[in-house]
Chain A
């Protein structure tokens, strides 16, 4: 039994879950900032980003050390590869949160206007995807991960709808262009969060089943 190695794998998983918690919190905070237009919450998002970036490097280093020192095989190798990929996706989720917070800060310079886009609903859906993909990772549950892939279409549709609604609004009311563009970008950021959740779910499937389902590829 390779006790030390398997303990190291558990440590790696635990560290990734800390990273996941921080990325999730960043997205939730950015949406809360959008909903309330509270710039102090934006500041919290900005301040958390360096910690997420630092954790990304630490996790990569841990994974690299295990690859170099332990020469993992089979499910252990797939696990470490998945962790490296998920780590990068979580860091990008953190970046999306920062992007949203930047847009919210921009929007603060303009009067609060009703826009024909339900950002909180889109946020709720993409956050649910992230949460579910991470739950699938925690439980090593490929079926749960598969259900995340189904959710992505809905997020894409909502993002498309936001694009058309806000484009029309810009044509009709050019004075609302800055607000509309910011909302458009936020919708796009949330759609990207859904994409990252999809990537995480695909990595869970790869880890558990050894099947590469990325880009709609069938199982190997």
Chain B
């Protein structure tokens, strides 16, 4: 099951650039939460702070509290542990090109030391079914490389890879922006199904996509969280003029 995340007073920097300023945000468990905002507003930095990927950049740092359930991810757990509990899917599918579909899906498990063949087989099937890819690849799991799949299939394989380690939270940074409408629709259907089991945070430039998949939406601007509310409220009657200007295209 997913776990709720509570962000309190989160600040992040790249060198001297203050990219996130005092972010406070409750992300409810087993819901999809969308983050929208113009390029460079800090939304990708924000999600990278949720699995401690932000700190992998040597000039980056973050302060504040990110609670996942009862755990403060910056105090009570190691980055490796957090990244196992928080899966991430990126804008462009990033399969390991030399690995088969099977090995791509279980790569995280293998890194964590799992070797039991039966468990690995079951995990591959479960993850690929959850990612709505099983029927399309079940006969080629070890024959085809992950890179030989179509873009949409690769992205679903990457989602299966993220799910294979049994995370509680799934972060998706523009997961459908490089996909055609049919593949996009499959990813959105997937998000809709997965949120009953996982807490999902999705960064998107596509506001219709946010409206379709997320219960709650946050609007970022210049490193600040301008407004966070139910998606319905944000897209029909936002409180803040800046939110309205952005979503109606009156920005700039």
Contacts and interface: CB of A to CB of B under 8 A. Distances in A.
Interface of A: 1-2, 5-6, 71-78, 210, 220
- Among A1, A5, A74, A220, which residue has the most Cβ atoms of chain B within 10 A? A74
B236 A1 contact: no
B250 A6 contact: yes
Interface in B190-238: 207-208, 235-238
A73 B235 contact: yes
Given A71-B208, A73-B207, A74-B244, A1 B237 contact: no
A77 B236 CA distance: 7
Contacts of A2: 248-250
26 contacts: A1-B249, A1-B251, A1-B252, A2-B249, A2-B250, A5-B249, A6-B249, A6-B250, A71-B207, A72-B248, A73-B207, A73-B235, A73-B236, A73-B247, A74-B235, A74-B236, A74-B243, A74-B244, A74-B248, A75-B237, A75-B244, A77-B235, A78-B237, A210-B236, A210-B237, A220-B237
Contacts, number: 37
Contacts of B251: 1
A60 B139 CA distance: 51
Given A1-B250, A1-B252, A2-B249, A74 B237 contact: yes
A71 B235 CA distance: 11
Contacts of B237: 74-75, 78, 210, 220
B249 A74 contact: no
A72 B236 CA distance: 10
A78 B235 CA distance: 10
Nearest to A220: B237
Contacts of B244: 74-75
A76 B252 CA distance: 17
A216 B236 CA distance: 21
Given A5-B249, A74-B236, 12 more contacts: A2-B248, A73-B207, A73-B248, A74-B235, A74-B247, A74-B248, A75-B244, A76-B248, A77-B235, A77-B236, A78-B237, A210-B237
Nearest to B237: A210
Which 10 interchain pairs have the tightest Cβ spacing?
A210-B237, A2-B249, A73-B247, A76-B248, A74-B244, A73-B235, A71-B208, A74-B248, A74-B247, A73-B248
A2 B247 CA distance: 11
A5 B249 CA distance: 9
Contacts of A71: 207-208
Contacts of A76: 248
Nearest to A79: B248
Contacts of B235: 73-74, 77
A220 B244 CA distance: 17
B188 to A, nearest CB: 15
Contacts of A73: 207, 235-236, 247-248
- Among A1, A73, A77, which residue has the most Cβ atoms of chain B within 10 A? A73
A31 to B, nearest CB: 39
Nearest to B248: A76
B213 to A, nearest CB: 15
Contacts of A210: 236-237
Contacts of A220: 237
A77 B243 CA distance: 14
A74 B236 CA distance: 4
A5 B252 CA distance: 15
